[in-house]
Structure 1
Amino acid sequence: MEALLELGPLLRTWRGRLQPGDVGSPFGSASTRTAGLRREEVAWLAGVSPDYVKRLEQGRAHPTASVVHALARALRLSEAETATALRLAGHADDLRALMPRRITPSVRRLLDRFPDTPVAVFDAAWTRLDQNPLWTALTGDPRGRGDREDNLVWRGFLGEPGRVRHPQPDQYRASIVADLHRVHARYPADPDLVSLVTTLRRRSEDFARLWGASDLGEHGNERKTIDHPELGAIELDCDIVTVQGAGLRLIIFTAEPGTAAADQLRLLSVIGSERVSARGGSTTGSPPTS
């Protein structure tokens, strides 16, 4: 409990040094009433409730390692600050056993500097950590949700299919399970990863069957079709870039110049992610109500 009381003031200090414009706040001009980020903004970015952030800052809640990582991403913490937060939350028995989930400054710059290209950042287990506005507009997936639907493996077996279509669904599912199997072997003591795999094995017979094959592999590039509610089917190349040393993956959608898909992406960029996503039924740009 004493360590949690130390964590609270640090969280308040860390949110106080950021401005809403630094993180793409959806709260508009109301965010300028106080210096730094409000609890509501931190909650939206981390996928938790404002009341939970309040209790954390008061030392009255014990966050899991995944919540600490989500707060670290929301507050743009350094590696040393993230390690401190994990230690104070009681998750520092062996930090090397935890799968990396921190977005490095260089990867953050990539998100900021490719406004015309849909890009999202995933951890090694295929949980989406962040994305740029064009990714949101293309896929319709809201930012800051913070639940299992952010994990591609979960969505492939138990979740909503979303807008992305895979040309060979069975091959896709087999490859992404083999990839997760490899990551699980690398981080066998990560509690969130263990929970994900255990739940998938219990609830999905197909996942359990593929997992039982004990294949270890790596999911690679594949051409995708995105069924956009306003622009129709968009055929795009999907490239996966691994950030060595950070344990992160970037998924990048691109179109060959001069094609209909390139025109569709350009139109999506011009219209703007907020407008298109709102008309397409996404919750993008609206903070969660929880």
Structure 2
Amino acid sequence: MHTEAVERHEFGLAVRRLRESTAPAAVGLPAGRRRVRGLRREELGELAGMSADYVRRLEQGRSHPSAGVVNAIARALRAGRADYERLCALAGYAAADGQVPNEVGPGAMRLLERFTGTPMFVADAAMNLVAVNSAFLALRHWHLTGDPWEWNIAWRTFCDPFSEFQQTAADATDHEAILVAQLRTAALRYPADVSLSALVDEMRSRSRAFDTLWRTPRPVAAYESSAAFTHPDAGAITLVGSLLAVPGDDLAALMLTAAPGSADAARLAEIVGDAGEPDVIRVGQSGPG
């Protein structure tokens, strides 16, 4: 057996052992009456944002996991540091040490691929966009500036706002509170991430509003807000952005939707239809370097 096949086999065995030794209650699942020890493949798949069939292929050594998949499984099983480092080693990766993960896992990809008519992006914990669908780009508001943080939604909101993106004072307040809350949580989870620290420091020096919120954050009531996007052909379209967590990968997906049956929904459908074939585009960068 080749070395790579042996490593896949060993990785699969390690995942299966961890899955079978994880008590459902330890990951927030009801115990109930069970025929098997630990978690079912379906449960691990749901927690990690992947299918049960993919978990089966991994455990059987028939698929090589990405670094994002390894991280997703470790988080889903709430693996300790030793088990996490072992999974990384068996998969051929170095264990992450306080760095914000930015791998687009299968769960996030399914969202982007299946909601083709809904503008959507996926961002990492530091609010760097890492992937978008073509419906999002069809809004034509995200102009690139050449700035190191041009794909960071917090930076663009506080330090380099879009002229085609307008919010009421109340919605802007909610939107800003959400972004600061996300960044504060990320900074606590990833204290060794140099780029994240640099982003926060730069934003605190560049934006008085951000610095004030960073020192005295506002509570977040709901992870959504409304905005008017001015499209060069279709005019203003009011959309509600809803931020959804992607379990396992420490990513977030933002979906932009219009009120059903509204003129905004009709205009959105028109510009998305004019954008051509649906696609998923990898984007983004995480600051200097």
> Alignment partner for residue 183 of structure 2, among 180, 183, 194?
180
Listed as ranges, the matches of 1:20-169 within 5 Å are 78-79=66-67, 92=94, 95-141=96-142, 147-168=148-169, 169=172
What SS does structure 1 have at the residue aligned with 2:138? Answer: helix
What SS does structure 2 have at the residue aligned with 1:178? Answer: helix
CA shift, 1:191, in A, is 1.2
Q: Deviations over 1:41-99 (max 9, x none)?
A: xxxxxxxxxxxxxxxxxxxxxxxxxxxxxxxxxxxx8227999xx99xxx95x614111
> Does the CA contact (< 8 Å) of 2:68 and 2:103 recur in 1?
no
CA shift, 1:215, in A, is 5.7
**Residues 133/147 of structure 1: CA separation in 2 closer, same or farther (3 Å cut):** farther
Q: Deviations over 1:119-170 (max 9, x none)?
A: 1111112111111111001143269x79412111111221132422222323
Could you tell me which amino acid in structure 2 is paired with residue 182 of structure 1? Answer: T
> Does the CA contact (< 8 Å) of 2:125 and 2:186 recur in 1?
yes
Give the Cα–Cα distance (whole angstroms) in 1 for the partners of residues 274 and 124 of structure 2. Answer: 30
Structure 1 ranges of 4+ moved more than 6 A: 80-83
Give the Cα–Cα distance (whole angstroms) in 1 for the partners of residues 220 and 184 of structure 2. Answer: 8
| Corresponding residue number in structure 1 for 2:234 | 231
Could you tell me which amino acid in structure 1 is paired with residue 184 of structure 2? Answer: H
Provide the TM-score with structure 1 as the length reference.
0.58
> Does the CA contact (< 8 Å) of 1:158 and 1:204 recur in 2?
yes
Q: Deviations over 1:246-283 (max 9, x none)?
A: 11111111123221011101111221269xxxxxxxxx
Aligned pairs, number? 193
CA shift, 1:172, in A, is 2.6
Higher helix share: 1
**Residues 254/217 of structure 1: CA separation in 2 closer, same or farther (3 Å cut):** closer
What SS does structure 2 have at the residue aligned with 1:130? Answer: strand
> Does the CA contact (< 8 Å) of 1:149 and 1:160 recur in 2?
no
**Residues 134/194 of structure 1: CA separation in 2 closer, same or farther (3 Å cut):** same
> Alignment partner for residue 220 of structure 1, among 205, 217, 223?
223
Give the Cα–Cα distance (whole angstroms) in 1 for the partners of residues 162 and 247 of structure 2. Answer: 29
| Corresponding residue number in structure 2 for 1:39 | none
Could you tell me which amino acid in structure 1 is paired with residue 259 of structure 2? Answer: E
Could you tell me which amino acid in structure 1 is paired with residue 199 of structure 2? Answer: L
What SS does structure 1 have at the residue aligned with 2:203? Answer: helix
Provide the TM-score with structure 2 as the length reference.
0.58
| Corresponding residue number in structure 2 for 1:32 | none
> Does the CA contact (< 8 Å) of 1:177 and 1:211 recur in 2?
yes
Larger radius of gyration between Structure 1 and Structure 2: 2
> Alignment partner for residue 209 of structure 1, among 207, 212, 216?
212
Could you tell me which amino acid in structure 2 is paired with residue 244 of structure 1? Answer: P
Give the Cα–Cα distance (whole angstroms) in 2 for the partners of residues 141 and 118 of structure 1. Answer: 12
What is the RMSD computed on CA atoms of the aligned residues?
3.2
> Does the CA contact (< 8 Å) of 1:181 and 1:215 recur in 2?
no
Give the Cα–Cα distance (whole angstroms) in 2 for the partners of residues 188 and 259 of structure 1. Answer: 45
Give the Cα–Cα distance (whole angstroms) in 2 for the partners of residues 172 and 237 of structure 1. Answer: 11
What SS does structure 2 have at the residue aligned with 1:196? Answer: helix
| Corresponding residue number in structure 1 for 2:9 | none
Gaps of 5+ in 2: 1-64, 72-87, 278-282, 284-289
Give the Cα–Cα distance (whole angstroms) in 2 for the partners of residues 204 and 182 of structure 1. Answer: 19
Give the Cα–Cα distance (whole angstroms) in 2 for the partners of residues 217 and 236 of structure 1. Answer: 19
